[in-house]
Structure 1
Amino acid sequence: MGVDLADLVKDVKRKLVLYEVKGKKVSIDGYNALYQFLAAIRQPDGTPLMDSLGRVTSHLSGLFYRTINILEEGIIPIYIFDGKPPEQKREEIERRRKLKEEAEKKLERARTEGRIEEIRKYSQAIIKLSNEMVEESKLLLQAMGIPTIQAPSEGEAEAAYLNSSGFTWASVSQDYDSILFGANRLIRNLTISGKRKLPNKDVYVEIEPEIIETENLLKKLGITREQLIDVAILIGTDYNPDGIKGIGPEKAYKIIKKYGKIEKAIEYGEIPKSLITFDINEIRKLFMNPQVIKPDRELELAEPDEEKIIKILVKDHNFSEDRVKNGIQRLTKAIKELKGLSRQKGLDQWF
């Protein structure tokens, strides 16, 4: 879910000119991207793509073809995958599980009554990403020559760390949590750009990549990153999903802008102490000092393994062999060009 900072970032976010990322690495929140593929790549009735055995393949299709598109734009993707979630996230995970159960019941009713739009809606709401799907996604990326990292905990925190530490130029996610985790730049819509249907409407809109630069955001708001985390805590994060009742983004911002921190707002009676049912400092620490690891190897592109790609997509999951082979040709060319660009940059430093 992530924290809802949309109202606070609207004046600083801008359209991303892909050329400014050319030749640069970006750290992509892998789970976030896979969920986007599962939600967006659907059949007309709302069900995901499947192979002959009924196994979902939307995530593999999105991962293969969208990653190739990203590479052809001259961008080097590094995919980061979640490890064990913090204990404080248990409530949010349980909430999501219950929502999926409710959506499954509504989906069955919609199917029985033939309500097409509701079938599409609830089919997306019950999206599940199994461990098997994640592991196969990693194998596909490795076969494609794309670097992957297994995070010790939150994938988005690791992606933000790679960015703030200079391993990547930006963090890529749909969630704004990357900013709270310390990313210097957050790119949204990179993995799902293109025409998308609005929920519950027969209307399509063009989704374009956008970028939010943390320094500009904090300067515009006139607060620190830690104060922005306090704003998020008041709104509600994955670690305290309910936040404080009656406090939305604008009100939370005004409170922190005025008092500097949550404790001061409580001290002066702006927020009743009885409404604080969570450990404020513990949540701050999860954002300010998340569990991350330093890469133990160079995050470089490798030569694609055509045989492994064909096994995963064509032999195991019935993808079109012609389409996959065409994709492999594009993939190989894009990686070769990016490696050439990287070598040229290396040589430029000597002249």
Structure 2
Amino acid sequence: MRLRIDVWGIAFLGVVGWDFIHYTTDDIKIEPPSLAIDVPNYFSRRLAVRRGTSRKPMPYLSIALKLAEGLLERHILPVFIFDGPPESLKRQPNPELLRSARRLYKRYLDTRDPFDPHITTSLSDSPALSMYFMAFHLKDVLAASGVPTITAPSEAEMTAAALSRANRVGSVLSNDIDTLLFGSPQLTKGISISKGTMTYATLSQLKQELNLDLIQLRDLAILSECDFHDGLRNVGPRRGAIQLKRYEDLEGVLRANGVPHSEIDSFIVARNTFYEADRIDPFMFELTLRPPNASQLKRQLLPLETNKTVTKRIKGLTWAWKRFGRKQTTLEEIC
């Protein structure tokens, strides 16, 4: 399988060659008014863009808090979703790396020194380690800010899709097409709070574009190469779509292309990964906004920002929380 994650942790589209996805840019409108955020995907993209432009340590905190405050101001509940144990077909778990990140984060909590040379050197030497460290740090800061966070049973985009499919969130912020294949009705590739716009694609548009149902789209992902399988040689998404219409399903296409029975099993096992999203209970997760904890936020942010900046952030989050709460109460009274 071609490696589709660069050294800075940037995930590509999850599937290969699906450049026909139709994205629409329009005013922000998310119903129900809650947005699931695929943390590893979204933050790796944002950090890659910022790399080299600023020497500010741990910039992910500013990104997260600005996003949370901006969404709350628009009466949209942000739900930050973190990866759990990875799918084995995508990558093997690395418990030692996780333990190393936890040790580094504990050291940071003890020293509160964002310029600690041991920490900064370790993180710069291992992008994967820095992503785990970021996850530990973000979970603590977001919990203090009051917004809901979820550690997924597996891939973040899988749980996000389950929430979206159950209408617990209105969209998923990610550029991983797998999110649609896991069943999310909508995928938001980008959102600009300042401009009031979002760029999104929908599962219904994708079905219409290829004239395939969701089951066939999942088959197509396996045929044309994705995170879970290398795919069928010389079969891209366009050719794969034609063959699926002719032979109906993945097994039919594989048999028509002379794939030995002994090799078909690996395709089926990979396809089953997409169906794991259907078995996630979307109502097992609590999506509750709580008031910001000012003292915890100060403790987390003061090593990184001035007292004036931290105070401004806390006031902004508190104001957004109060407005969001009033809006929710009004809606409940109407209902």
- TM-score w.r.t. the length of structure 1 is 0.74
SS of 1:141's equivalent in the other structure is helix
* SS at 2:52 equivalent: coil
Q: Which TM-score applies when normalising by structure 2?
A: 0.77
- Alignment partners' CA distance in 1, 2:139 and 2:70: 18
- Please tell me whether residue 213 in structure 1 is matched to residue 212 in structure 2: no
Q: Tell me, what secondary structure is at the counterpart of 1:90?
A: coil
Give the equivalent residue in structure 1 for 2:228: 239
| Equivalent runs, 1:88-167 vs 2, <5 Å | 88-90=89-91, 129-167=130-168
Spell out the pairing of 1:275-290 with structure 2 (5 A cutoff): 279-290=266-277
Mapped partners of 2:32, 2:249: distance in 1: 40
1:69 is the counterpart of 2:70: yes
Maintained 8 Å contact 2:82/2:151? yes
1:254 aligns with 2:242: yes
**Deviation (angstroms), 1:278:** 6.2
Equivalent-residue separation in structure 2 for 1:40 and 1:162 (angstroms): 28
SS in 1 for 2:141: helix
Equivalent-residue separation in structure 1 for 2:55 and 2:228 (angstroms): 30
Residue pair 1:85, 1:153 contacting (<8 A) in 2 also: yes
For 2:295, which of 307, 315, 332 is the aligned residue? Answer: 307
Deviation (angstroms), 1:218: 1.3
The letter of the residue matching 1:145 is G
2:56 matched to 1:49? yes
Question: Aligned-pair distance for 1:5?
Answer: 6.0
Deviation at 1:15, TM superposition (A): 1.3
- SS for the counterpart of 1:88 is coil
Deviation string 1:169-212 (CA, Å, 9 cap, x unpaired) is: 1222111111111112111113xx499xxxxxxxxxx9962122
Which of 319, 322, 334 in structure 2 is aligned with 1:336? 322
Q: Secondary structure at the match of 1:289?
A: helix
Partner SS, residue 226 of structure 2: coil
CA–CA distance in structure 2, aligned partners of residues 255 and 81 of structure 1: 36
**Letter matched to residue 28 of structure 1:** I
Q: Which whole-Å CA distance do the structure 1 matches of 2:51 and 2:307 have between them? A: 20
Alignment: residue pair count:
294
Alignment-mate amino acid for residue 40 of structure 2: Y
| Corresponding letter in the other structure for 1:7 | D
Q: Which runs of 5+ in 2 are unaligned?
A: 1-10, 98-123
Give the fraction of aligned pairs with identical amino acids, expressed as a percent: 26
Name 2:251's counterpart in structure 1: 263
Q: CA deviation at 1:215?
A: 2.3
- Indicate if the aligned counterparts of 2:165 and 2:183 stay in contact, CA closer than 8 A: yes
8 A Cα contact 2:185 2:203, kept in partner: yes
Instruction: Give unmatched runs, 5+ long, in structure 1.
Output: 51-56, 98-122, 196-205
RMSD: 3.1
2:20 matches 1:8: yes
- The equivalent residue for 1:222 is 211
Q: Does the residue aligned with 1:209 lie in a helix, a strand or coil? A: strand
Task: Answer yes or no: is the 8 Å Cα contact 1:23–1:341 preserved in 2.
Answer: no
Q: Please give the alpha-carbon distance, in whole angstroms, between the structure 1 residues aligned to 2:127 and 2:136.
A: 20
In structure 2, what is the Cα distance between the partners aligned to 1:243 and 1:207? 39
Q: In the alignment, residue 234 of structure 2 is paired with which amino acid?
A: G
Question: Secondary structure of 2:36's partner?
Answer: strand
Answer yes or no: is 1:30 the counterpart of 2:39: yes
- Structure 1 residues 129 and 225, CA gap change in structure 2 (3 angstroms): farther
Distance 1:268 1:23 in 2: 44
Does the aligned pair in 1 maintain the 2:162–2:280 contact within 8 Å? yes
SS state at 1:71 partner: helix
In 2, Cα distance between equivalents of 1:68 and 1:337: 11
Shift in CA distance, 306/194, structure 1 to aligned 2, threshold 3 Å: closer
Whether the aligned pair in 2 keeps the contact of 1:38 and 1:48 (CA below 8 Å) is no
CA contact (8 A) 1:41 1:62 kept: no
Question: In structure 2, what is the equivalent of residue 108 of structure 1?
Answer: none
Instruction: Please state how far the C-alpha of 1:78 moved relative to its aligned partner.
Output: 0.6
Per-residue CA deviations over 1:242-300 (Å, capped at 9, x if unaligned) read 3233333322222223322222123333x654995761222222102236344446412
Q: Distance in 1 between matches of 2:228 and 2:56?
A: 33
- Residue 40 of structure 1 deviates from its aligned partner by 2.4
